[in-house]
Amino acid sequence: MSQTVFARNPKEHDVFSSLHMAVVGLGTIGGALVDILARTGVGTLTLIDPEDLGAENVGRHILGCRSVAKSKAQELALHVAGINPDCRVEAYKERFEGFPERPDLILCAADSFQCASLVNGYALRENVPAVYSAVWGEASVAEILYVIPGKTPCYECYAGFRRNVEIPSDARKYADPNFDDTRLPGQAGLWANILMVAGLEFQVILGLVGLRNTLDDRDTLWLMNISDPRCGLQRLALTLGEVRKGCAVCDKSCLEELLRKNLTEEDSAGASLRFDPSEKMFEDTEEARQALSELAKRGIFI
């Protein structure tokens, strides 16, 4: 069966059939990537997403109405089986905390900075290449960053600024201890634009597995202005960006500098706030005693 299904991409199938890919975040981009990987003949997939498919997702998701109110991960596993029965799929309806088995490549399409940061930590620790994808606005600009541990800057080097981005407040954060307040709210956008983002990201994946000579260790940020006339990037053209290494996660010197800065700030703050219990708060004078007496009459004792 597989020989017929992949007759038109045998070279890619030969490579992908031996690879284990992990996809974290199975929304609109993640779902499209899973479909592309299945049609390319990937051998093993690990899928992670804690949510069910919502009706509002169907207009720009690879899954359809029959999957509404069902786990995105489980439904995508069934979707893959319908295309590539030889693919081994592990699907988890849960938040990302790690993988039961180390993958060959991680694709992070989560709309949460917190989740992407956790994926970054795992990828660096386990020495696994990772690709992070996102869109700007109404899916009008594609943003793709690839990280090769030990060779390129990491996700935090580029996206660390998002830690302090203001996101509209959600009352659930006060009642749900697992609420992720770094997650971006859903936005409008066309499925056609999402397919362009996923297709562009797949070119990065082909480069990482050695099937295309499209990557280097310098220009690791790929941007494409799909449909935003106000964006400064050229329309429908790939713009490459260089990310400079400089975060406390992957650069030890930055971590040491951050620790020194924090310790210095703590020392200076501590010096101004130190309290000596033996030190008198008021001078022992007649005026001070009268002031204390007046406070005592009002029920204030010092």
pLDDT score of 298 more than 60:
no
pLDDT in tens, 78-116: 999 999 999 999 999 999 999 999 999 999 999 888 899
Specify whether 282 is located in the same domain as 155.
Answer: no
Specify whether 184 is located in the same domain as 269.
Answer: no
Specify whether 215 is located in the same domain as 133.
Answer: yes
Q: What domain count does the chain have?
A: 2
CB atoms within 10 A of CB 62: 24
Among residues 94, 91, 129, the alpha carbon closest in space to that of 108 is found at: 129
Q: Which amino acid is located at 121 in the chain?
A: G
| pLDDT at position 245 | 86
Is position 20 within any domain? yes
| pLDDT at position 281 | 44
**How large is the angle between the packed helices 72-83 and 28-40, nearest 10 degrees?**
20
Among residues 103, 117, 120, 115, the alpha carbon closest in space to that of 208 is found at: 103
pLDDT in tens, 136-150: 888 899 999 999 999
53-67, 77-91, 103-117, 160-174, range with the lowest pLDDT: 160-174
Which segments of 41-86 does DSSP mark as H helices, in order?
72-83
| pLDDT at position 290 | 66
Specify whether 215 is located in the same domain as 286.
Answer: no
CB atoms within 10 A of CB 228: 15
Number of H helices, E strands in the chain: 9, 8
Task: Specify the CATH number for the domain of residue 159.
Answer: 3.40.50.720
Q: Which domain holds residue 266?
A: 255-297
Q: Give residue 178's Cα distance to chain centre.
A: 17
| pLDDT at position 64 | 96
Q: Token pair for residue 197?
A: 């983002």
Specify whether 47 is located in the same domain as 95.
Answer: yes
Is position 302 within any domain? no
| pLDDT at position 251 | 72
Among residues 32, 278, 252, the alpha carbon closest in space to that of 142 is found at: 32
Give the pLDDT band of residue 7 (cuts 50, 70, 90): confident
pLDDT score of 118 more than 70:
yes
Average pLDDT, the chain: 83
With tokens 């310098």, the residue in question is 218
Specify whether 268 is located in the same domain as 195.
Answer: no
| pLDDT at position 261 | 65
Distance CA 233, CA 292 (A): 69
Distance CA 3, CA 18 (A): 15
Specify whether 87 is located in the same domain as 170.
Answer: yes
Specify whether 99 is located in the same domain as 113.
Answer: yes
Is position 189 within any domain? yes
Residue 70's H or E segment, with its range, is none
| pLDDT at position 301 | 47
Q: Which amino acid is located at 183 in the chain?
A: R
Is position 284 within any domain? yes
Specify whether 34 is located in the same domain as 151.
Answer: yes
Q: What are phi and psi of 142, to 5 degrees?
A: -90, 140
Specify whether 140 is located in the same domain as 14.
Answer: yes
Give the pLDDT band of residue 27 (cuts 50, 70, 90): very high
Query: What share of the chain has pLDDT > 90, as a percent?
Result: 60
Is position 72 within any domain? yes
Cβ(242)–Cβ(219) under 8 Å?
A: yes
Specify whether 44 is located in the same domain as 128.
Answer: yes
174 CB contacts (<8 Å, ≥6 apart)?
none
Q: Which amino acid is located at 140 in the chain?
A: S
Give the pLDDT band of residue 167 (cuts 50, 70, 90): very low
Is position 12 within any domain? yes
Is position 101 within any domain? yes
Specify whether 80 is located in the same domain as 167.
Answer: yes
pLDDT in tens, 197-253: 999 999 999 999 999 998 988 899 999 999 998 888 898 999 999 998 878 777 767
| pLDDT at position 267 | 59
Is position 177 within any domain? yes
Three-state DSSP at 237 gives coil
